[in-house]
Amino acid sequence: MHAQYVCHACNARKKACDKKLPACGFCSARNLDCEYDEKTSKKKGFLRKYNPGRKFVTIPPRQSTDPPGQWLLLPTTTQSVDELVHTHALCLIGSMESPSQGPSELYFRTFHQWYPIISPEAFQHVESSCCRRNCIPPADFSILLLSMCMITSLPNQKQPFLLSSYFNCGVVYTTTKSLFALVQATRCKSVRLTQAGFLIAACEYTCAHPETAYISLNTCLALMDFQGSQTQFSNTCAVERGTNGVRSISTDESNMVKAVATLERMILLEVDPSRVARTKFLDCSEQFSHRQQRLARNPALDTLPLSTYLGHFYLTEAREKTVCALDQVLHIIQLTTANEERKSFAEIILELTNTDTEIRYLLGVLMGESYEKNVDLCTPVALCIRSLFLLHKHVIDLLLTCPSEYSDQVADISRAALSTACEMVVDAVQFPNNYQSGMMPICCYYNLRTAIEFLVEQKGTSAEIDILRQAERAYRSKCLF
């Protein structure tokens, strides 16, 4: 006797079945259970009834204790993008605990001091308007608020938010970036969306992901180009091409252009110093000059309270001069690497020496002003130290490829400069600043890593290396994800 259809074992293995009863030859030879399905129909379009318990293991349902930041990343048919992003923002903010202030207040008191890209008045106006009308804010506003929460939730804040056990910086960052991509794909480009992208890039740079930060920053540049903002501007105001010709752009947009130019140079120092920046900063010919590097008072701001004056003017001046120093370092590295002007070794060393002199002078001015005016200029100082590290490492690498009779003398000077920079990093670790406005230790991780590499290479003291390695481990455990 023979069965009408092949057995289950031969059908699953794509084997030829002799259909013998009670067991086919294939199953008999292998001592397998031979089963035939006599009710199966060969009619076209007919499918055998699905039996999940026969071949598959069912997946248990998601537990309700999972962190809410890991689901609902796509809108349903009844949930708009505005509602989705607003729901996530409320969920994350609700999981944070701050005894005295909300995320926006902490943001404007810390990160805003270094990058004033968001107008507090405009932000509070939209926030109060949505609360007054009891409506859901636009998606770009919600993603901006979520980005502000992300940048203020970094654990190295002076007064950070406390995340619940379900959340950490990685979850907040992943949720924010996913929702940013969703809003970017479904909504019109806006200044608030550009600001949120900048905060994401700043967070990635702080958490030692400079390559990812560079990609996010290029997204900001694309959004700015789409909006028509120019990347070139003068010392007085930025301009934008509008329907009625050239007009002065808003303060937010002007500060945004400056902030993007600043962060781009900071990222390029870590990614590829030989790469040319896409943005153009202030005219550094006068800014980066030792005759003009003292942070002189501006008579137009003398009517402001002292704390406001110091917190805005001095930090702005220090930021611009520091970024000009970064720009000069990148420029000199690009010139000496390519050497398209066919300069002699002595001319190249002279340019590098002049740049080193200017940065050292600026560093002394910043430290003197910080002590004299009691202003938090730790970030500009850290950036100057970063510039010195990069400049003198480039000098040593250059001497290996272009040796001369003065190579040993120049190399000794560069090693002495690097040793001084390492000592300043050690001092910064041992005696951290107590300023409440210090938002994040910009360049700290990169300075630590470079200082450790140099001290290990030069066989520095074990005590200094242990101090720096301990600080690096602490930074990794807190900020890296």
The helix (run of H) or strand (run of E) holding residue 233 is strand 229-233
> 70 pLDDT exceeds 50?
no
pTM above 0.95, yes or no: no
The band of 212, judged by pLDDT with boundaries at 50, 70 and 90, is: very high
Digit-coded pLDDT (tens) for 330-371: 888 887 777 666 777 778 888 888 888 888 888 888 888 777
Domain 1-52: which CATH number of 3.30.1490.20, 4.10.240.10, 3.40.30.10, 3.40.50.10140? 4.10.240.10
Per-residue pLDDT at 164 exceeds 60? no
Q: In this predicted model, which residue has the larger pLDDT, 161 or 171?
A: 171
Classify 155 as helix, strand or coil: coil
Between 367 and 375, residue with greater pLDDT: 367
What is the band of 101 on the pLDDT scale with cuts at 50, 70, 90?
low
pLDDT band, residue 180 (cuts 50/70/90)? very high
Selection from 443, 435, 444 nearest residue 474 by Cα: 444
Q: What would the mean pLDDT of 150-160 be, rounded to a whole number?
A: 63
Domain ranges of the chain: 1-52, 82-253, 303-479
- Which residues pair with residue 247 across a beta bridge? 240
pLDDT tens readout for residues 27-57: 888 778 888 876 544 444 444 444 444 444 4
Rounded Cα gap, residues 191 and 117, in angstroms: 10
What whole-number percentage of the chain has pLDDT above 70? 69
In sequence order, what DSSP letters do the residues of 378-412 get, joined into one string? HHHHHHHHHHHHHHHHHHHHHHHHS--TTHHHHHH
State the average pLDDT for the chain: 73
**Mean pLDDT along residues 380-403:** 85
- Tens of pLDDT, residue by residue over 10-25, are 887 777 888 888 888 8
181 and 175 Cβ atoms separated by less than 8 Å: no
Q: Which amino acid is at 109?
A: R
Residue 78 has pLDDT above 50, yes or no: no
Query: What is the percent of the chain with per-residue pLDDT over 90, rounded to a whole number?
Result: 6
Instruction: Specify the DSSP element, H or E, that contains 122.
Output: helix 120-133
Alpha carbons 25 and 119: distance in angstroms, whole number: 81
Q: What pLDDT is attached to residue 57?
A: 43
191-202 pLDDT, tens per residue? 899 999 999 999
Model confidence at 144: pLDDT above 90: yes
Q: Indicate the range of 87-96, 152-161, 268-277 predicted with least confidence.
A: 152-161
How much is the pLDDT for 214?
94
pLDDT at site 200: 94
308-313 contact pairs (CB < 8 A, 24+): 310/373, 310/374, 310/375, 311/113, 311/375, 311/437, 312/116
Query: Residue 216: is its pLDDT beyond 90?
Result: yes
Q: At which residue do the structure tokens 């289950």 appear?
A: 8
pLDDT, position 278: 76
Does the pLDDT value for residue 316 go beyond 90? Answer: no
Q: Which of 475, 407, 414 is nearest to 447 (CA)?
A: 475
